[in-house]
């Protein structure tokens, strides 16, 4: 469990909002270990590849959007999840390739779940306060649909173990993910704390 890894992108709006340090700081202070990092300019093709690793993603993203509208008592722009999902994918290609991003791999116990918890829900309007999306941005499904663009929510983080493996393989070469010891792992994970007292 201690070696679980998750893949994170600070999206173009995260860079433009000068939140790189803030976001990295939140992952560091919870005890996760940074094992790979790069700044790059994704192509639209890379953005599409990233979001279509899961062949079900288009349908799921469309359905999530429809459910969100309905939960607020609003009428969704369409009742067809594939139609909405495909639009979202096109908008994401533009969004992710609009400027530099920072890609990272973070390692630690429950890394995938812990990072998702710190990141917060997809729609900043309803992401919990205290999360990255809840604290630093104010976008919504309605605003982004009105302007025919992606929801700007600062960050991407893997949603499952399979997704994390595939995303890490897509964005990093094997030897770019570094194996090293971090001094704080002793206090986080060691069974005995015999080495503290002198
Ligand atoms: P998450 O990033 O929370 O895992 P998804 O995988 O469902 O969420 O969606 C990927 C990204 O696509 C979101 O972070 C957001 O930027 C964008 N997005 C998702 N659904 C919509 C939508 N209905 N309208 C605009 N942008 C969307």
State the CATH number of the domain containing residue 154. Answer: 3.30.70.141
Determine the pLDDT at residue 174: 97
Nearest alpha carbon, ligand 1 atom 21:
88
Of residues 110, 156, 165, 182, which has the active-site annotation? Answer: 156
Q: Is the pLDDT of residue 1 over 90?
A: no
Residues 112 and 179 grouped into a single domain:
yes
Mean pLDDT to the nearest integer, 42-63: 95
Residues 59 and 120 grouped into a single domain:
no
Residues 37 and 50 grouped into a single domain:
no
The pLDDT-based confidence of 39 (bands split at 50, 70, 90) is: very high
Domain housing 104: 1-41+99-198
Nearest alpha carbon, ligand 1 atom 7:
61
Determine the pLDDT at residue 195: 84
Residues 91 and 114 grouped into a single domain:
no
Residues 34 and 47 grouped into a single domain:
no
Determine the pLDDT at residue 114: 98
Determine the pLDDT at residue 78: 92
Residues 178 and 133 grouped into a single domain:
yes
Residues 90 and 121 grouped into a single domain:
no
Residues 100-120: tens digit of each pLDDT: 999 999 999 999 999 999 999
Q: Comparing C-alpha atoms, which of 153, 130, 158, 156 is closest to residue 140? A: 153
Residues 14 and 104 grouped into a single domain:
yes
Residues 90 and 115 grouped into a single domain:
no
Determine the pLDDT at residue 194: 87
Number of structural domains, the chain? 2
The pLDDT-based confidence of 177 (bands split at 50, 70, 90) is: very high
Mean pLDDT to the nearest integer, 82-89: 94
Nearest alpha carbon, ligand 1 atom 6:
61
151 Cα–ligand 1 center, Å: 6
Q: Last residue of a domain, which of 96, 116, 137?
A: 96
Mean pLDDT to the nearest integer, 142-147: 94
Report the alpha-carbon distance of residue 156 to residue 46 in Å, rounded. 14
Residues 31 and 21 grouped into a single domain:
yes
Determine the pLDDT at residue 131: 98
Mean pLDDT to the nearest integer, 29-51: 97
Residues 28 and 76 grouped into a single domain:
no
- Is 156 catalytic? The answer is yes
């Amino acid at each position: 469990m201690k070696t679980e890894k998750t893949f994170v992108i600070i999206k173009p709006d995260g860079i433009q909002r000068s939140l790189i340090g803030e976001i990295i700081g939140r992952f560091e202070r919870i005890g996760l270990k940074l094992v790979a990092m790069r700044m790059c300019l994704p192509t639209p093709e890379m953005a599409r590849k990233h979001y279509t690793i899961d062949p079900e993603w288009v349908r799921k993203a469309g359905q999530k959007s429809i459910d969100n509208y309905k939960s607020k008592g609003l009428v969704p722009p369409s009742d067809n999840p594939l139609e909405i999902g495909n639009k979202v994918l096109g908008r994401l290609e533009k969004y992710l390739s609009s400027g530099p991003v920072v890609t990272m791999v973070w390692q630690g116990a429950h890394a995938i779940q812990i990072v998702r918890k710190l990141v917060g829900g997809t729609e900043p309007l309803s992401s919990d306060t205290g999360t990255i999306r809840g604290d630093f941005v104010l976008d919504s499904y309605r605003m982004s649909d009105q302007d025919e663009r992606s929801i700007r929510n600062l960050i991407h983080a893997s949603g499952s173990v399979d997704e994390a493996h595939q995303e890490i393989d897509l964005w990093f070469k094997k030897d770019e993910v570094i194996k090293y010891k971090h001094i704080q792992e002793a206090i986080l994970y060691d069974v005995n704390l015999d080495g503290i007292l002198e």
